[in-house]
């Protein structure tokens, strides 16, 4: 138990600091390379610099993360995407309502994020050990099949339909790379993601040098993965 | 590219200046990856603490229990590369796909599949490994940014964002269906819990799993 607490604090401080500073950098993108997610940026803006909104938004996802960690030991991506950035912002905004001096300032967010990260990660990792083992066994029995269905076929279908809805070029690239990925990597999603990326770039800018570079990289990537996963041997066996 | 100026002389102004430079980006990615990689160490040794969704962590589980890491490695490594290519184009590196899934699940799965266990079994080594991987990813992104022409497509990101959000919505109903095939009390708990959470604007998946756990352990079959 003590080991879990100490490790959680270290992980929370490092991750919280990095994610909060990365979120602050998002407000300076694309001039500055940042990290986070577009949905995080949108949600941070939607809270309009109101500390109570930021805190309660994060709290909703903390409940979900707690349920997930109790059930399966998984913290969910929302801890880094939503809870830490919003709580770090909320904590700073209580003292100063000006978002430019708080939420947009990586020098302040990095410390707020470190503290929030340590608290949240430690809380979540210890709350799981309070739950009786029989209960988490039930959860795993239920979540296992649900998770397997999610990975295949639900996620590939969602991404596939999104690619098909985005126009002919994106739909064709998504379908071909998705099909290849499902054969070679065992799941279509990464292929469809690459297909959407390539298809959208072509639709907007045509076959420029940078789209050609991207297609080349993706081709090499597929060939390399196929080689290491013994795909070519399987194809040769057909003849 | 990065044209943020120092405005003042206090230590905080200097820190702000440093944190907005291109060279500090790999350091931040390194810190985040150290935490995420160590989170996977936590999950493997203490069964708690992986920074990802249940269904992604489940793929790593398959490898840990059965020795087949193909699903986790293929899925997560594909995500990592797609997001690292996308990051410099749009100015935002997706920490979910690139770091939490790619570095947190994909790279450990590839290491375990090739018999490398030390970076995952040892906490300190896991922090150092994660930091190293993050520094490399961050540096690669900054280098791509220097050479890629500006103004590439960001529309692709919107499509993937929509698909990503839709994914989350499917989990609730899937858990309810799975709970119903587990047992009647679990099934009832799942849909009642989901309905209650929905009424109070909380994620349906959370209510479903909590309700199923409570009723299933109350009326053990």
Model confidence over A59-92: pLDDT tens digits?
A: 878 888 888 898 888 999 999 999 999 999 999 9
pLDDT given at position B5: 55
pLDDT given at position A137: 79
Cβ–Cβ contact A59 with B under 8 A: no
Q: How many angstroms away from the CA of B118 is the closest CA of chain A?
A: 17
Cβ contacts of B34 on chain A, cutoff 8 Å:
14-15
- Name A231's Cβ contacts closer than 8 Å, sequence gap at least 6: A183, A184, A225
Q: Is B155 in contact with A73 (Cβ distance < 8 A)?
A: no
Contact B34, B54 (CB under 8 A): no
Q: What is the DSSP string of chain A?
A: -HHHHHHHHHHHHHHHHHHHHHHHHHTTTTTS-EEE-HHHHHHHHHTTT-HHHHHHHHHHHHHHHHHHHHHHSB--THIIIIIHHHHHHHHHHHH---GGGTTT-HHHHHHHHHHHHHHHHHHHHHHHHHS-HHHHHHHHHHHHHHHHHIIIIIHHHHHHHHHHTT-HHHHHHHHHHHHHHHHHTS-SHHHHHHHHHHHHHHHHH-S-HHHHHHHHHHHHHHHHHHHHTTHHHHHHHT-
Q: Are residues B146 and B114 in the same domain?
A: yes
Q: What is the mean pLDDT of residues A26-53?
A: 86
pLDDT given at position B2: 43
Cβ–Cβ contact A164 with B under 8 A: no
Mean pLDDT across chain A, nearest whole number?
89
Q: How many angstroms away from the CA of A168 is the closest CA of chain B?
A: 14
pLDDT given at position A13: 97
Residue showing tokens 């986070």: A36
pLDDT given at position A87: 96
A159/B5: higher pLDDT: A159
How far does CA A25 lie from the centroid of its chain?
A: 17
Cβ–Cβ contact B23 with A under 8 A: no
**Residue among B1, B46, B77 minimizing CB distance to A4:** B46
Question: How far apart, in whole angstroms, are the C-alpha atoms of residue A82 and residue A65?
Answer: 11
Q: Are residues B129 and B216 in the same domain?
A: no
Q: Is A138 in contact with B213 (Cβ distance < 8 A)?
A: yes
Residue B164 lies in a domain: no
pLDDT given at position B145: 84
Question: Residue B167: closest CA among chain A residues belongs to which residue?
Answer: A155
Q: What is the mean pLDDT of residues A121-137?
A: 83
Q: What is the mean pLDDT of residues B6-30?
A: 89
- Name B15's Cβ contacts closer than 8 Å, sequence gap at least 6: A106, A107, A110
State how many domains chain B has.
2
Cβ contacts of B74 on chain A, cutoff 8 Å:
184-187, 190, 225, 229
pLDDT given at position B7: 64
**Residue among B57, B155, B202 minimizing CB distance to A74:** B57
Contact A80, A19 (CB under 8 A): yes
pLDDT given at position B150: 55
Q: Is A205 in contact with B20 (Cβ distance < 8 A)?
A: no
pLDDT given at position B221: 63
Q: What is the mean pLDDT of residues B4-21?
A: 81
Cβ contacts of A163 on chain B, cutoff 8 Å:
159
B156/A90: higher pLDDT: A90
Residue B133 lies in a domain: yes
Q: Are residues B141 and B89 in the same domain?
A: yes
Question: How far apart, in whole angstroms, are the C-alpha atoms of residue A189 and residue B72?
Answer: 12
pLDDT given at position B86: 78
Cβ contacts of B210 on chain A, cutoff 8 Å:
67, 70
Mean pLDDT across chain B, nearest whole number?
86
Q: How confident is the model at residue A11 (pLDDT cuts 50, 70, 90)?
A: very high
- Phi (first) and psi of residue B3, to 5 degrees: -115, 20
Q: Is A25 in contact with B79 (Cβ distance < 8 A)?
A: no
Q: What is the mean pLDDT of residues B68-94?
A: 81
Cβ contacts of B203 on chain A, cutoff 8 Å:
60-61, 63-64
Chain B interface mutation, best of A1, A2, A148, A150, highest count of B Cβ atoms under 10 Å: A150
Q: Which of A110-114, A216-220, B162-166 holds the top average pLDDT? A: A110-114
pLDDT given at position B152: 54
Tell me which residues of chain B, numbers 141 to 160, contact chain A at a CB-CB cutoff of 8 Å. Answer: 141-142, 145, 148-150, 152-153, 155-160
The domain of B140 spans 11-152
Cβ contacts of A189 on chain B, cutoff 8 Å:
75, 78-79
**Residue among A69, A146, A217 minimizing CB distance to B171:** A146
Q: What is the mean pLDDT of residues B59-71?
A: 83
B123/A204: higher pLDDT: B123
Q: Are residues B88 and B145 in the same domain?
A: yes
Two tokens, residue B16: 């702000």
Residue B66 exposed, middle or buried by CB count within 10 Å (0-12, 13-18, 19+): exposed
Q: Are residues B123 and B207 in the same domain?
A: no
**Residue among B79, B150, B206 minimizing CB distance to A190:** B79
B90/A154: higher pLDDT: A154
Two tokens, residue A207: 């076959």
Q: How does pLDDT run across A166-202, given as a tens digit for each residue?
A: 999 999 999 999 999 999 877 888 889 889 888 988 9
Domain boundary among the residues B152, B180, B209 is at: B152
Q: Are residues B187 and B146 in the same domain?
A: no
pLDDT given at position B3: 46
Residue B181 lies in a domain: yes
Residue B45 lies in a domain: yes
Q: Where do the domains of chain A lie?
A: 2-131, 147-237
> Does residue A132 have a pLDDT over 80?
no
Q: Are residues B173 and B126 in the same domain?
A: no
pLDDT given at position B146: 83
ipTM greater than 0.90, yes or no? Answer: no
Cβ–Cβ contact A23 with B under 8 A: no
Residue B4 lies in a domain: no
Q: Are residues B99 and B25 in the same domain?
A: yes
Q: How confident is the model at residue B167 (pLDDT cuts 50, 70, 90)?
A: confident
Q: Is A200 in contact with B2 (Cβ distance < 8 A)?
A: no
Q: Are residues B174 and B66 in the same domain?
A: no
Q: Are residues B57 and B148 in the same domain?
A: yes
> Does residue B1 have a pLDDT over 60?
no
Q: Are residues B76 and B29 in the same domain?
A: yes
Tell me which residues of chain B, numbers 179 to 218, contact chain A at a CB-CB cutoff of 8 Å. Answer: 179, 181-182, 186, 190, 201-203, 205-207, 209-210, 212-213, 216-217
Q: Are residues B32 and B130 in the same domain?
A: yes
């Amino acid at each position: 138990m003590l080991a879990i607490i100490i490790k959680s604090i270290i992980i929370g401080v490092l991750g919280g600091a990095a994610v909060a500073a990365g979120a602050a950098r998002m407000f300076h993108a694309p001039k500055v390379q940042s990290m986070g997610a577009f949905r995080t940026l949108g949600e941070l803006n939607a809270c309009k610099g109101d500390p109570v909104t930021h805190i309660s938004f994060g709290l909703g996802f903390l409940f979900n993360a707690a349920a997930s960690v109790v059930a399966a030991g998984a913290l969910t991506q929302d801890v880094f995407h939503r809870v830490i950035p919003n709580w770090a912002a909320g904590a700073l905004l209580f003292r100063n309502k000006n978002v430019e001096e708080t939420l947009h300032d990586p020098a302040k967010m990095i410390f707020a994020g470190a503290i929030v990260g340590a608290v949240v990660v430690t809380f979540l990792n210890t709350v799981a050990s309070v739950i009786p083992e029989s209960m988490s066994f039930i959860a795993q029995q239920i979540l296992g099949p649900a998770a397997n269905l999610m990975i295949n076929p639900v996620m590939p279908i969602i991404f596939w339909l999104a690619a098909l809805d985005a126009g002919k070029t994106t739909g064709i690239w998504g379908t071909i790379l998705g099909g290849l990925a499902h054969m070679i990597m065992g799941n279509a999603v990464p292929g469809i993601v690459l297909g959407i990326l390539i298809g959208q770039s072509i639709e907007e800018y045509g076959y420029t040098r940078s789209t050609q570079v991207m297609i080349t990289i993706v081709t090499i990537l597929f060939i390399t993965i196929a080689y290491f996963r013994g795909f070519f041997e399987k194809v040769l066996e057909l003849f | 590219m990065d044209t943020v100026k120092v405005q003042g002389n206090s230590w905080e102004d200097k820190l702000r200046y440093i944190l907005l430079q291109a060279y500090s980006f790999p350091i931040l990615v390194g810190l985040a990856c150290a935490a995420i990689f160590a989170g996977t160490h936590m999950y493997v040794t203490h069964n708690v603490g992986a920074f990802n969704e249940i269904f992604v962590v489940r793929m790593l589980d398959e490898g840990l229990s059965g020795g087949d890491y193909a699903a986790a490695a293929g899925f997560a490594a594909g995500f990592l590369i797609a997001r690292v290519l996308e990051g410099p184009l749009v100015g935002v590196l997706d920490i979910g796909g690139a770091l939490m899934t790619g570095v947190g699940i994909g790279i450990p799965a590839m290491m375990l599949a090739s018999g490398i266990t030390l970076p995952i079994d040892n906490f300190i080594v896991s922090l150092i490994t994660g930091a190293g991987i993050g520094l490399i990813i961050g540096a690669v992104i900054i280098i791509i940014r220097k050479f890629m022409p500006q103004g590439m497509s960001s529309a692709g990101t919107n499509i993937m964002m929509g698909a990503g959000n839709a994914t989350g919505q499917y989990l609730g109903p899937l858990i309810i269906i799975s709970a119903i095939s587990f047992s009647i009390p679990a099934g009832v708990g799942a849909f009642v819990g989901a309905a209650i959470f929905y009424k109070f604007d909380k994620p349906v998946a959370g209510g479903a799993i909590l309700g199923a756990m409570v009723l299933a352990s109350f009326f053990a079959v």
